[in-house]
Amino acid sequence: MKTAILYHNNRCGKSRAALLALQEKGYEVRIRYYLEQPLSQKELLALLKKLQVPAASIVRTKEAHFKSLGDTKQFKELDWIKALVQNPILLERPIIELSSKAWIARSPEALSIL
Protein backbone atom coordinates (compact mmCIF):
# COMPACT_ATOMS: atom_id res chain seq x y z
CA MET A 1 0.00 0.00 0.00
CA LYS A 2 1.22 3.50 -0.85
CA THR A 3 1.83 5.79 2.11
CA ALA A 4 1.26 9.53 2.26
CA ILE A 5 1.83 12.08 4.99
CA LEU A 6 -0.83 14.76 5.24
CA TYR A 7 -0.02 17.96 7.13
CA HIS A 8 -3.54 18.44 8.35
CA ASN A 9 -5.83 20.89 10.09
CA ASN A 10 -9.19 19.19 10.62
CA ARG A 11 -10.95 22.58 10.79
CA CYS A 12 -9.95 23.29 7.17
CA GLY A 13 -12.33 22.08 4.46
CA LYS A 14 -9.56 21.79 1.86
CA SER A 15 -7.51 19.71 4.28
CA ARG A 16 -10.46 17.39 4.90
CA ALA A 17 -10.97 17.11 1.12
CA ALA A 18 -7.31 16.15 0.69
CA LEU A 19 -7.65 13.45 3.35
CA LEU A 20 -10.72 12.04 1.62
CA ALA A 21 -8.99 12.08 -1.78
CA LEU A 22 -5.99 10.22 -0.38
CA GLN A 23 -8.21 7.60 1.24
CA GLU A 24 -10.27 7.17 -1.94
CA LYS A 25 -7.06 6.61 -3.94
CA GLY A 26 -6.04 3.85 -1.53
CA TYR A 27 -3.23 5.59 0.30
CA GLU A 28 -2.31 4.71 3.84
CA VAL A 29 -2.42 8.19 5.35
CA ARG A 30 -0.22 9.26 8.21
CA ILE A 31 -1.76 12.45 9.53
CA ARG A 32 0.46 15.12 11.00
CA TYR A 33 -1.68 17.50 13.04
CA TYR A 34 0.88 20.26 12.67
CA LEU A 35 -0.90 22.65 15.04
CA GLU A 36 -0.64 20.14 17.90
CA GLN A 37 2.71 18.71 16.74
CA PRO A 38 4.59 21.64 15.17
CA LEU A 39 7.38 20.87 12.76
CA SER A 40 10.93 21.27 14.00
CA GLN A 41 13.31 23.40 11.99
CA LYS A 42 14.94 20.22 10.65
CA GLU A 43 11.57 18.76 9.61
CA LEU A 44 10.53 22.01 7.94
CA LEU A 45 13.79 22.21 6.00
CA ALA A 46 13.30 18.63 4.75
CA LEU A 47 9.71 19.42 3.74
CA LEU A 48 10.78 22.59 1.91
CA LYS A 49 13.34 20.56 -0.02
CA LYS A 50 10.59 18.18 -1.16
CA LEU A 51 8.27 21.07 -1.97
CA GLN A 52 11.09 22.81 -3.87
CA VAL A 53 9.93 26.24 -2.74
CA PRO A 54 11.23 28.93 -0.39
CA ALA A 55 9.70 29.13 3.07
CA ALA A 56 7.98 32.45 2.32
CA SER A 57 5.83 30.76 -0.31
CA ILE A 58 4.15 28.49 2.24
CA VAL A 59 3.25 31.23 4.71
CA ARG A 60 -0.43 32.08 5.10
CA THR A 61 -0.12 35.86 4.87
CA LYS A 62 -3.87 36.39 5.22
CA GLU A 63 -3.89 34.60 8.58
CA ALA A 64 -4.64 37.07 11.39
CA HIS A 65 -1.57 35.86 13.28
CA PHE A 66 0.68 36.93 10.38
CA LYS A 67 0.44 40.56 11.53
CA SER A 68 2.19 39.65 14.78
CA LEU A 69 5.40 39.09 12.79
CA GLY A 70 5.66 42.81 12.17
CA ASP A 71 7.46 44.12 9.10
CA THR A 72 8.50 41.09 7.04
CA LYS A 73 9.90 42.99 4.05
CA GLN A 74 13.47 42.31 5.15
CA PHE A 75 12.89 38.67 6.13
CA LYS A 76 15.42 36.20 4.81
CA GLU A 77 14.84 32.45 4.40
CA LEU A 78 15.91 31.66 7.97
CA ASP A 79 13.53 34.31 9.34
CA TRP A 80 10.60 32.69 7.50
CA ILE A 81 11.63 29.25 8.73
CA LYS A 82 11.80 30.45 12.33
CA ALA A 83 8.42 32.17 11.95
CA LEU A 84 6.82 28.95 10.68
CA VAL A 85 8.38 26.83 13.43
CA GLN A 86 7.23 29.26 16.13
CA ASN A 87 3.81 29.93 14.56
CA PRO A 88 2.56 26.72 12.92
CA ILE A 89 -0.84 28.34 12.22
CA LEU A 90 0.97 30.22 9.42
CA LEU A 91 1.81 27.03 7.50
CA GLU A 92 -0.12 26.72 4.25
CA ARG A 93 -2.35 23.68 4.15
CA PRO A 94 -2.95 21.00 3.25
CA ILE A 95 0.44 19.63 2.30
CA ILE A 96 0.75 16.11 0.95
CA GLU A 97 4.09 14.33 1.14
CA LEU A 98 4.88 11.18 -0.82
CA SER A 99 8.35 9.62 -0.41
CA SER A 100 10.50 12.09 -2.38
CA LYS A 101 8.06 14.88 -3.23
CA ALA A 102 5.48 17.12 -1.60
CA TRP A 103 2.98 19.72 -2.71
CA ILE A 104 0.32 22.07 -1.42
CA ALA A 105 -3.02 20.46 -2.22
CA ARG A 106 -5.49 23.34 -2.02
CA SER A 107 -6.94 23.01 -5.51
CA PRO A 108 -8.76 20.13 -7.20
CA GLU A 109 -5.91 20.09 -9.75
CA ALA A 110 -3.39 19.55 -6.96
CA LEU A 111 -5.40 16.56 -5.77
CA SER A 112 -5.80 15.13 -9.26
CA ILE A 113 -2.12 14.22 -9.49
CA LEU A 114 -2.51 11.54 -6.84
Q: Where are the domains of the chain?
A: 3-112
* The CATH number of the domain covering residues in 3-112: 3.40.30.10
Q: Which residues are catalytic?
A: 12
pLDDT tens across 58-114, in order? 999 999 989 999 999 999 999 999 999 999 999 999 999 998 899 999 988 888 888
Query: How far out from the chain centre does Cα 95 lie?
Result: 4
Q: Which residues pair with 91 in a beta bridge?
A: 59
pTM: 0.92
